[in-house]
Structure 1
Amino acid sequence: MKNNRLYIIAALAFSLASCAKELDKININPNATEKAQPDYLLTGAIKNTADVYWGTTNNMNSSLLFSQQFAKVQYTEEDRFIYSNSSLTTLWSNGYSQGIIAFNKIIEAGDAQDNPNYRGVGLVLRSWVFLLLTDAYGDVPYTEAGKLNEFITPAYDKQKDIYFGLLEDLKAAKTVLNPAGKAIGGDIIYNGDISRWKKLANSLRVRIALRIADREPAKAKQVFDEIKADNDALISENADIAQLIYQTSPQQNPISAQFETRDDYRISKTIVDKLSELKDPRLAVYASKTQTPTPEEYVGLPNGLTNSEASALGFAKVSKPGAYFLLPQAPAVIFSYAELLFDRAEAAARGFTTENAADLYQQGIKASFRQYNISDAAAAAYVAQPFAQYDPGNYKKSIGEQKWLALFGQGLEAWAERRRLDYPVLKASVNTVLNGEIPVRFIYPGTEQSLNIQSYKNAVASQGPDLLTTKLWFDVN
């Protein structure tokens, strides 16, 4: 009940934070405080951002389809990549109007209350939201974003500049975060454990360093050198996973909420076939057995079916997501220990560090198994098989395929990594509308063409046509 109350209060605070600047000046209550409480804001900002990240539009109806982890069993237009410029708007609209503005207010409140830990946490979470935005759209407002009193039509920054800026923001965050400093409230990720927020800040630096590694290898290596020189801690165990663990209805996981009232999605045949081929015990976690018994028990749905094809195949003979992911309390994972281990393996493979890439790769697989309470014995047997061996001659394939499996459910991150590493190799259905291509970006919201037209035009002139098939700066191959 207490957490529900916090969500409601924080949501009201969000409404105030998102008002236009004229209303902000006019609607002043002389009997109420003008300073939002950072603990309430933090709770609401985390919850709303996790909902956007893990929800239908940006996860189930797009990036999980692009990465072929989910497929649609009815209303299959999105699985055939049929989108308009109003289809992929919630990451943009909520990311800016709720996420960026709210985290800016938390940063300001931390300064006003002389509590640097609020500033640090706000910087970490704001950086994560900006990373989601640029990974999906490319060039986006960054320098001028969220500053309503100064910029009504913010300019778009180039993706390279955003990544470089976020690396500096996260360095600033890890510097001000102090486990011995003042406590914070409202933290529904780490319950006020500032040492873990520092680990997340540094781990996000690692993620960004690898995003730019194909374009700016010297800068990427510099990030790893700085982390080593400063002895910066990274996520180092599954207990460090950055995630929001949901509650029961109405505060349940968005995937669980979707399946309470609709039945549009199944597990993709691509990932079910891969897990089956590898005799991977995560199959029983990621997928449910078919409702109508089948010889295989777990059957994936091909991506890109027409509505008539999907209807003919039916609901009962293909697998829904596993019970773990349908629980109301299923976590929205932001950054896992398994991902960090695969990142470290790749950094070693690229020569950015002197660590053992093969060992870290196997540790990443084992950490993913532990994340889902699969036994260490099962993990050890799995990594001992020939198919699970690390290939130093093609580290992108080894790491890319296992990372894709480990990132199941994290659509935006799985999609970004697949674009960057080019593994696993995925094929589009013949029914899709992009001539055999899979989307490599979100198209900008149509409102940008009416409300921020010059900035929009500048971005398109710099980045390329506003199409699903226009590659972003970080996506080299």
Structure 2
Amino acid sequence: MYKNIFNLLVLLITLSFTACKKNLAEINRNPNAVEDPQPDYLLTAAEKIAADTYWGADNNFNSSLLIIQHWAKIQYTEPDRYIFSNSSFTALWNTGYAQVITNLNTIIQFPEEKANTNYKAVATILRSWIFQLLTDAYGAIPYKESGKIKQTLTPVYDSQKDVYFGLLDELKSAATALNPAAGSVSGDVLYGGSLASWKKFAGALRLRIALRIADREPEKAKQVISELTADPALLISSNAEIAQQAYDKPPLQNPVAAWFSTRDDYRVGKTIIDKLYALNDPRLVVFADKPTDPSVTSYVGVPSGLTNSDANNLGFAKTSKPGLTFFRSDANPAVIISYAEVLFAKAEAVARGLLTGDAADLYKQAITASFNQYQIKDNAVISNYLNQPSVVYNPANYKKSIGEQKWIALYGQGLEAFAEWRRLDYPQLTAGASGVLDGKIPVRFIYPGTEQSLNGDNYKAAVAAQGTDNLLTKLWFDVN
């Protein structure tokens, strides 16, 4: 009898626990979550969020654009003086993982009948770009276990080398998988569903990563570059094929324009304005506007790393804002990879002996592509520029020639310009006037503080292998 009573109690407790679990599941369900997410909506959201993250304030003009001295601050100058904390660099990490990669992983994990092979390939290519941005900025990052929430909430960090090698494989496989017969891709605001364009985007990313690893793994870099340059269908080959997010209709709004519509705390850096003046560079009128004070008739840049008072004393009306037409207009696109970048990469590959060709000619083509990108198409103007002794390609120091011109061509793309400056060591920048790093310039982002508290063991292991988690620890790709 007692045994029967015991069994009855166990059954009642079990039923009660099951009911509680069901009720808790109902209570914890997000009423605003999409019950049946569709791949086209997820892709649109991922592309928009990714472009905004790349082009927007936290990762671009309030950090990397300041470090690379394309821009400077005219007020609230602490970031320009390298006063950062582990909460300063959370946006790229949190947005990259929690929003962009999560959306893309959802597409990749959909069954075939819900998301065809092309959706999955496109999602993989876009996700690879985000992983590339993350490892470029922080170094070791969660990669192989990233997004596998059902398996672990504390993903292991992969070394930067392993991330780059993994991305090269993923991009190659994704580009190969793209097939018009597999179905169309909707919701693509980056390339309008053009699979050929996505294949070239994937190739351009592989070329970019191949040069990231070239100082460490030249044979692997050469193998990748040889594959890419053997087939014209694998690389961006004109300005019409630039990877860029167009901001041409609501709610797509250029983050730079949105910022300047309500705030006025950034100016063009004196470093780049002085360089453009020294080279008689016609891109100056594109990159900057003249001060609004009519008494000032030239372009005036703000020195990097000034104190608040010194910056304020220069005068808001007497210093140059970023150019309106290409940078502060609502419709200005967020450039992700340009044709000029691809040509500079080819020139460098030749200079390194990783590719056969004419480095000087490719270098000229790259500069010309950059000019054309900004609607500077006068052949005489371009020829005069290219023939200046200060611009002519120097084979004895290709890093200086390519590094300085690529730095100019990447104007506005803070994260990429930051990575290339660290890799090529040109231009040779001087730390901000009132910088707090003893005359040094940051060479990485600090991990978000939440990693120490939420993924502490893996964070500690990554730091032990990579080096102290501070602004001056060089990453694996940055060998000089």
Percent of aligned positions that are identical? 60
Note the 1:370-389 alignment, pairs <5 A. 370-377=372-379, 378-389=381-392
Residue aligning to 2:85: 84
Distance 1:359 1:25 in 2: 65
Residue deviations 1:143-193 (CA, integer Å, cap 9, x gap): 000111111010100000000000000011111012454111001111111
Summarize the Cα distance change of 1:27–1:299 in structure 2 as closer, same or farther, 3 Å threshold.
same
Distance 2:26 2:129 in 1: 27
Cα distance, 1:112 vs structure 2: 4.0
Note the 1:50-449 alignment, pairs <5 A. 50-109=51-110, 111-113=112-114, 115-228=116-229, 232-247=233-248, 251-294=252-295, 296-323=297-324, 324-377=326-379, 378-449=381-452
Q: Secondary structure at the match of 2:92?
A: helix
Distance 1:325 1:446 in 2: 32
Give the TM-score, by structure 2 length: 0.91
Whether the 8 Å CA contact 1:110–1:117 is kept in 2: the answer is: no
Cα distance, 1:35 vs structure 2: 3.9
Distance 2:282 2:307 in 1: 31
State the aligned residue count.
Answer: 454
Q: Secondary structure at the match of 1:111?
A: coil
Distance 2:201 2:87 in 1: 33
Amino acid at match of 2:74: V
Summarize the Cα distance change of 1:110–1:407 in structure 2 as closer, same or farther, 3 Å threshold.
farther
Summarize the Cα distance change of 1:83–1:188 in structure 2 as closer, same or farther, 3 Å threshold.
same
Amino acid at match of 2:197: R
Residue aligning to 2:8: none
Whether the 8 Å CA contact 1:111–1:119 is kept in 2: the answer is: no
Cα distance, 1:380 vs structure 2: 2.5
Summarize the Cα distance change of 1:54–1:231 in structure 2 as closer, same or farther, 3 Å threshold.
closer
Amino acid at match of 1:245: A
Distance 2:295 2:345 in 1: 38
Range 242-251 or range 210-219, more displaced:
242-251
Residue deviations 1:386-416 (CA, integer Å, cap 9, x gap): 2221110000000000101100000000000
Residue deviations 1:221-264 (CA, integer Å, cap 9, x gap): 11112224566520000010000011366531111111011101
Whether the 8 Å CA contact 1:441–1:469 is kept in 2: the answer is: yes
Summarize the Cα distance change of 1:249–1:193 in structure 2 as closer, same or farther, 3 Å threshold.
closer
Amino acid at match of 1:66: I
Whether the 8 Å CA contact 2:39–2:115 is kept in 1: the answer is: no
Summarize the Cα distance change of 1:248–1:184 in structure 2 as closer, same or farther, 3 Å threshold.
closer
Residue deviations 1:67-113 (CA, integer Å, cap 9, x gap): 10000000000000001111110000010001111111122237343
Amino acid at match of 1:385: Q
Amino acid at match of 1:43: T
Note the 1:15-54 alignment, pairs <5 A. 27=29, 34-54=35-55
Distance 1:224 1:453 in 2: 38
Whether the 8 Å CA contact 1:179–1:195 is kept in 2: the answer is: no
Q: Secondary structure at the match of 1:243?
A: strand
Amino acid at match of 1:267: V
Bigger-Rg structure (1/2) = 2
Listed as ranges, the gaps of 5+ residues in structure 2 are 1-23
Summarize the Cα distance change of 1:212–1:296 in structure 2 as closer, same or farther, 3 Å threshold.
farther
Distance 1:447 1:54 in 2: 24
Q: Secondary structure at the match of 2:244?
A: strand
Distance 1:335 1:25 in 2: 45
Cα distance, 1:314 vs structure 2: 1.3
Distance 2:112 2:93 in 1: 27
Summarize the Cα distance change of 1:262–1:452 in structure 2 as closer, same or farther, 3 Å threshold.
same
Distance 2:249 2:34 in 1: 32
Residue deviations 1:308-334 (CA, integer Å, cap 9, x gap): 101111111110000120101111111
Summarize the Cα distance change of 1:23–1:256 in structure 2 as closer, same or farther, 3 Å threshold.
farther
- The match for 2:473 among 457, 465, 470 is 470
Residue deviations 1:432-475 (CA, integer Å, cap 9, x gap): 01111111000000011110000110011000001000000000
Cα distance, 1:296 vs structure 2: 4.9
RMSD: 1.8
Whether the 8 Å CA contact 1:110–1:118 is kept in 2: the answer is: no
Amino acid at match of 1:390: Y
Whether the 8 Å CA contact 2:107–2:115 is kept in 1: the answer is: no
Amino acid at match of 2:217: E
Range 246-255 or range 95-104, more displaced:
246-255
Residue aligning to 2:17: none
Summarize the Cα distance change of 1:24–1:182 in structure 2 as closer, same or farther, 3 Å threshold.
farther
Distance 1:398 1:359 in 2: 13
Amino acid at match of 1:285: V
Whether the 8 Å CA contact 1:179–1:194 is kept in 2: the answer is: yes
Whether the 8 Å CA contact 1:38–1:110 is kept in 2: the answer is: no
Residue aligning to 1:4: none
